[in-house]
Amino acid sequence: FSTQAPLMGRLADDMKDLAGFENVEAIEIVARAKDGSVIDASGEMDDFILHSLSKGSYPIVHGVFGGKTGLRDKKMPGSLESGEKSLGVVDACQGRFSQGELKEWLEQDSLVLFTASKFYQAPPFCGAVIIPPRIAQKLREAPVPEPKAMFGLYGLGGFLTDKELPDCIEHWKPLLRKDGTSNLGLALRWEAGLAGMEALD
């Protein structure tokens, strides 16, 4: 997707996985058939969840709500048992959604990805994650995940510092603390993004 990471700089040419995430397997569900007709991915998402659970895996399902061509699936993935069995992620980065739709996603315990980079015309990679209340509470009560390598410079630490974390994962902060480093680029992007949002309010 990119040859650079915010706090890591240029990625090594042979880097394929983030540290601590080597065992994550990605499966692509296509949006269109070879003839160009639209495929509703909702059914395939459901099948993927059932198959993953039958293998004893933990499925993370990422659905895109309104891509550049306006495609929308009939439903967006929720999290089963408030994230105990699966995690649903709604990619709403195009900004083409209503407050009612956002409320619906949070009520089904979906993480919601959002950016001011598209509709609100901020610079690229002006991103945020909206965490639903039940998932936030579970994160607050859960121990710091393993392996600890995932928090290093070649894992999450290449993208985040302790300063960007919400209160519900405050206990992760010591592993991402960079006293002499701030994610200045992200802060400036959001200054631009907020200006665009406020201008349209």
Cβ proximity of 21 and 147 under 8 Å: no
pLDDT (tens digit, 9 = 90+) per residue, 109-130?
999 999 999 889 999 989 999 9
- pLDDT at position 66 is 77
Taking residues 95-106, what's their average pLDDT?
93
Q: Which residues pair with 127 in a beta bridge?
A: 115
pLDDT (tens digit, 9 = 90+) per residue, 34-77?
898 888 788 889 999 999 999 999 999 999 897 777 777 778 99
- pLDDT at position 181 is 84
Q: Is the pLDDT of residue 201 over 80?
A: no
| Predicted TM-score (pTM) of this structure | 0.91
Report d(CA 66, CA 72) in Å as an integer: 5
- pLDDT at position 96 is 85
Report d(CA 12, CA 86) in Å as an integer: 32
Q: Is the pLDDT of residue 143 over 70?
A: yes
Report d(CA 90, CA 76) in Å as an integer: 6
Residue 135, φ and ψ in degrees, nearest 5: -70, -40
Q: Is the pLDDT of residue 32 over 90?
A: no
- pLDDT at position 36 is 87
Q: Which residues have CB under 8 Å from 39's CB, separation 6+?
A: 29, 30, 31, 32, 33
- pLDDT at position 1 is 62
- pLDDT at position 72 is 75
Report d(CA 27, CA 20) in Å as an integer: 19
Cβ proximity of 128 and 114 under 8 Å: yes
pLDDT (tens digit, 9 = 90+) per residue, 146-180?
999 999 999 999 999 999 999 999 999 999 988 88
What the block records as the tokens of 192 is 């631009």
